[in-house]
Amino acid sequence: MTTDIKLIDYLNVRRSTPAPQLTEPGPSREELEEILRLTVRVPDHGKIAPWRFIVIRGEERVRLGEAALALALKKNPDLSADFQSVETTRFTRAPVVIAVVSKAGPHVKIPEWEQVMSAGAVCLNLLMASNALGYAANWLTEWVSYDPEFLPELGVKDGEKVAGLIYIGSTTFPPVERPRPELAEVVTWVGEA
């Protein structure tokens, strides 16, 4: 189901939905392919696509939660039952989780920083493409995006980094506004038109 809200109206209210507020249904395989086709239309200096996606669905989310728990217990054998449950349910908070993986590295022409920024653009575009198909989404990282022992569980290779884990699903929660920066705090005007 695509939404046909005007772009300016969308940008005026665009918000993430916290992962715990995401439920079934999630996007189908066909919808995910459309979401990803929209997503890859990002600025990318040199057209080198220095990023890739790992689409995590179904039982794989459960396996990843169990792997997260095993690793969390290895680090802290006294982990409380509540925190153990946080780990086992980490990836099942949403029907679909997409890992946006940055492949940024040394390149003959394109600075690594620009490759990293392109991965950030991908993450935001993935949130917006999900919204365009009527789904809510949340860009998280959390410890599982950084732990060198967990990254192989996700399928992230040596030299790659997780730019974001994008949780996608449906929601019944109304969006709640959050404070935005005052323009005066973040904008410097120079010259006059």
Ligand X SMILES: Cc1cc2nc3c(=O)[nH]c(=O)nc-3n(C[C@H](O)[C@H](O)[C@H](O)COP(=O)(O)O)c2cc1C
Query: Interacting stretch for ligand X, rule CB under 6 A, among 25-33, 50-58, 137-145, 148-156?
Result: 137-145
Considering the complex, state which of residue 38 and residue 116 has its C-beta at the smaller distance from ligand X. 116
- Quote the least distance from Cβ 11 to ligand X, whole Å: 11
State the Cα–Cα distance between residues 38 and 125, nearest whole angstrom: 8
Give the span between the Cα atoms of 105 and 113, in whole angstroms: 9
- Torsion angle of alpha carbons 18, 19, 23, 27, nearest 10°? 100
Here's the x/- map for ligand X, 164-193, by CB under 6 A: it reads as x-------------x---------------
Choose which of 54, 70, 121, 140 interacts with ligand X (CB under 6 A).
140
Which listed range, 22-30, 60-68, 134-142, 154-162, lies at the site for ligand X (CB under 6 A)?
134-142
Provide the residue type at 91 as one letter.
Answer: F
Residue, CB closest to ligand X: 16
Virtual CA dihedral for 161, 167, 168, 174, nearest 10 degrees? Answer: -140
Nearest to 162 by CA among 69, 93, 114, 98: 98
Residues at the interface with ligand X (CB under 6 A): 15-16, 138-142, 164, 178
